[in-house]
Amino acid sequence: MTEKAIRDSFPDAVVETTDVFGIPNIKITPASLLAVCEMLHANPEMAFDYLADITAIDWQDRIEVVYQLTNLAKNVKVALRVDLDRETPELDSVTSVWKGANYQEREVFDLMGVVFKGHPDLRRILLPEDWEGYPLRKDYVIPD
């Protein structure tokens, strides 16, 4: 149902949908992310008001960012997935939709090096400001 709503509004956005233990995981194009999130939040039929989690996975040929969304009133869940180029991982920030994205995007930036465009305060959060590299990348060399 969520996938259909996205397809109706953004015919070219959906890449594929998989089922991960009962939660539809919808892969969409990076360019459509912010518009899809705005629709999923604002559309009264969808009303995904709760951003549970943002994480990123380094698949070595790409970086994948995963958003876990929940509609609290209806208790419906969905995950959005976006594939990014590993050399220049850039994505629109969703802080304008969910304020809770602020810290979570900073964490993904800090540890995985994904740049969130339009983030109000994109700084490292867990590591020191002068830290070099992104530790959760698979090719990160652990300093002695």
Partner 1 sequence: MSSRIRTDLIEINMGPQHPSTHGVLRLGVTLDGEVVVECQPDVGYLHRGIEKLAEMRTWIQFIPITDRLDYLASMLGNAAYVGAIEKLGQIEVPERAEYIRIIMMELQRVASHLVFFGTMALDLGATTPFLYSFREREDVLDLFEMVCGARLTYNYFRPGGVSRDLPAGFYAEAKAYIKKQREKLPEYDDLFTNNQIFIARTRNVGIISAEDAVNYSLSGPSLRGSGVSYDVRTADPYSIYDKFDWQVITYPVGDVMSRFMVRTMEIRQSLNIVEQALDAIPEGELKCKTPPRFKVPAGEVYHHIESARGDLGVYLVSDGGEKPYRMKWRAPSFINLGALNSMVKGWKVADVVAILGSLDVVLGEVDR
- Which residues contact partner 1 (rule: CB under 8 A)? 20-21, 23, 49-53, 55, 57-58, 66, 68, 72, 75, 77, 79, 98-104, 107, 111, 124-128, 135-136, 140, 142
Q: Burial letters for 17-53: b for 16+ Cβ neighbours within 10 Å, e otherwise?
A: beeeeeebbbbbeeebbbebbebbbeeeebebeebee
Nearer to partner 1, 13 or 65 (CB): 65
Contact indicator for 98, 52 with CB cutoff of 8 Å: no
- Alpha helices by DSSP H, 10-75: 33-42
Nearest-approach distance from CB 130 to partner 1, in angstroms = 13
Nearest-approach distance from CB 100 to partner 1, in angstroms = 3
Nearest-approach distance from CB 37 to partner 1, in angstroms = 13
Tokens of 5: 């709503």
Nearest-approach distance from CB 8 to partner 1, in angstroms = 25
Report how far apart, in Å, the C-alpha atoms of 141 and of each of 6, 35, 132 are. Answer: 40, 37, 11
Nearer to partner 1, 76 or 115 (CB): 76
Contact indicator for 108, 55 with CB cutoff of 8 Å: yes
